[in-house]
Structure 1
Amino acid sequence: MINTLNLIFREFSRKTVALLVIALALPVMLRSQISGIPLRAPAYHILDRLDISSGIPGPIHPELKYYPRQ
């Protein structure tokens, strides 16, 4: 009887730990794309000016910038 209860408790705790790990890891695995620089932020103007004045391509490519959708 005790061995049976011990086996059931061990199996239950394994399932509980597995579900807990999945529940805690799920938000990390399903992380969505970050928004980057908000729409119409002054940083776009600064990055464009730095790109023009330095001649070195900036970290944000012009094709990847956010545009208003109206």
Structure 2
Amino acid sequence: MTKTLEIEGMTCKHCVMHVTNALKAVAGVTTVQVDLAGNKAVVEGSNLDDQALKDAVADAGYEVVAIHE
């Protein structure tokens, strides 16, 4: 399963690192690719829970504005 998250608030490579680490900690996530220029993250894994992904990003200090499958 692959999900694309639109994320607001990322401004630098440290933001990318924080979002990447937060998403990698979510149960079921196997890979994470964060695109600073595109303000998005592509997450792959099994049984991915949208709310868990949103919460992880929020806990890192950013906002998920949309999730696409």
Range of TM-score over shorter length: under 0.3
Judging by fraction of residues, say which structure has more helix. Answer: 1
TM-score for the superposition, normalised by structure 2: 0.23
Q: Which has the larger radius of gyration?
A: 1
